[in-house]
Structure 1
């Protein structure tokens, strides 16, 4: 138990509970930090989305060919189609997500405390439940943003319609399908992102504990550099795990969300078309960019998030 206590002491440098945060500072500073990370990594999402919706006859079916096509057609700005919509919607979505994540995690940890589970197991369970809950709560805001942004990302590509901007997409979707059209793929989004979020946070929470058990054999608290390295490693592992598990559902969801109302297939038809075009490997279209995206997003976001929590801790030394 002494060794476990040592790990708990070191890991405690990064574990800042919800009740210890300055909420106003957390939301304001967090909006700026996460918007900056989104700017850096958004092009990967655009490439991944185009790969997932490419038809069987599309010549651009690889990561680099898609990227070259975007540069040739629209220049650098092509990699930021839908960016304004995503950033505008991301602020309330992320605030809701993080609030649900932290409050749920704290509640689950309290429930698990009497069971005296190992730290990795306890962390995996609390983080996993919190991640799934946070994802479900945020889908009500996220799905309409996803529908609009993804249509902007693929406009003019592989036969998809073109738009004048996010407002134009919103107006046309509501006109042709009503509010319901903004929630196209909602069930699949919950089925995709909720497990993905759960797997991501469970993997991240558990992997950190395992890494500290390997590295931490002293009583001194870890340095800032050590904290960041362990958090980055946890982010890479979590992103890779979640990407591989959830890519098939993400591909189906993306295809459903970008298709016109009059040509929209059912989820079952999308599955049949994918198998007919590429076999079962079709479900893993865009896995490379998604793998890299989730690992890069995960690492960048978790470093920013953990730094944000230390920065916003009330009256405590980070």
Structure 2
């Protein structure tokens, strides 16, 4: 999972009196929680499309599949298929580990970004690097730390979202116990390599575009009251497209292991030789388009996720800062 750097940019640029560390963490965690719930159905659709190796137009690619094997094509048809066969709760499969992941990830990312920025200021002293470089380093470090720390929850989210009518895991605790028993501790970190490999190119693309658009867009009268938010959405869409193949490979590696053939797609190939080999296998079997399955819904998800996160973060932080200031004024009067 990669959150937009614009979501925690203000944690560094906001003056200290406009948000303590605890207030920034609380606002970031709340924003992640609400944003995740809103975009959960799109996330389930994206994962289903990413894991699908067969196509609607090529019947030979579906050879050997059960007669009732789902064939997804497009965001809305996939959503309708899930609703028809699994009910509305099917669109929120994996939401519990995902909510835990988003809250933890957002809080850690905001905190790590701020801490790394402070460390850079202390280490470099008067020899300050350009703002774009500082943001890139802090953003990449924060993303890597948060990704590694919350990765088991990301893997659980993917496996639950990949379940069809026949459940692989009966619940979150049962899933943790089964993975530990059958796959060991390493099973919780399948696909971590491509997950971490996404971060540096994502941050590089993001900040190159974000810094170029932020100032000119800030001079315009835009929705959400902020050119930063709009620049963040545009930069996020372009950056996500650039690293999307790594995200798809990560998802497919996450469902490897003894349960691989029990998910909604029964024909997920075995990718046991690493991310590079997995990419070659996908291109050989599905073409370059195979690396971008689910891209459309991923991009559709980026805009509302960024908008909801930024909107919630700003308002929660302002609320917390306002309450703290009001309490301070009352104590001063007393």
Which category describes the TM-score, using the shorter chain as reference length? 0.7 to 0.9
Matched residue, 2:250? 253
- 5+ residue gaps in structure 2? 1-9, 55-61, 63-69, 261-269, 327-334
1:142, CA displacement in angstroms?
A: 1.8
1:95–1:133 Cα change, 3 Å: same
**2:79 is equivalent to residue 67 of structure 1:** yes
Instruction: Report SS of the residue matched to 2:303.
Output: helix
Matched residue, 2:41? 43
Asked if structure 2 preserves the Cα contact closer than 8 Å seen for 1:89 and 1:141, the reply is no
| Whole-angstrom distance in 2 between the partners of 1:251 and 1:149 | 14
- 5+ residue gaps in structure 1? 1-11, 216-222
Match of 1:240 among 237, 240, 247: 237
Matched residue, 2:179? 173
User: How do residues 304-315 of structure 1 correspond to structure 2 at under 5 angstroms?
Assistant: 304-313=312-321
Task: State the TM-score, normalizing by the size of structure 1.
Answer: 0.78
1:308, CA displacement in angstroms?
A: 4.0
1:298, CA displacement in angstroms?
A: 2.1
Task: State the TM-score, normalizing by the size of structure 2.
Answer: 0.75
Asked if structure 2 preserves the Cα contact closer than 8 Å seen for 1:60 and 1:66, the reply is yes
Instruction: Report SS of the residue matched to 2:287.
Output: helix
User: How do residues 285-300 of structure 1 correspond to structure 2 at under 5 angstroms?
Assistant: 285-300=293-308
Asked if structure 2 preserves the Cα contact closer than 8 Å seen for 1:128 and 1:198, the reply is yes
Higher helix share: 1
**2:222 is equivalent to residue 210 of structure 1:** no
Matched residue, 2:291? 283
Matched residue, 1:220? none
1:110, CA displacement in angstroms?
A: 7.4
**2:132 is equivalent to residue 124 of structure 1:** yes
Instruction: Report SS of the residue matched to 1:59.
Output: coil
Matched residue, 1:84? 96
1:198–1:21 Cα change, 3 Å: farther
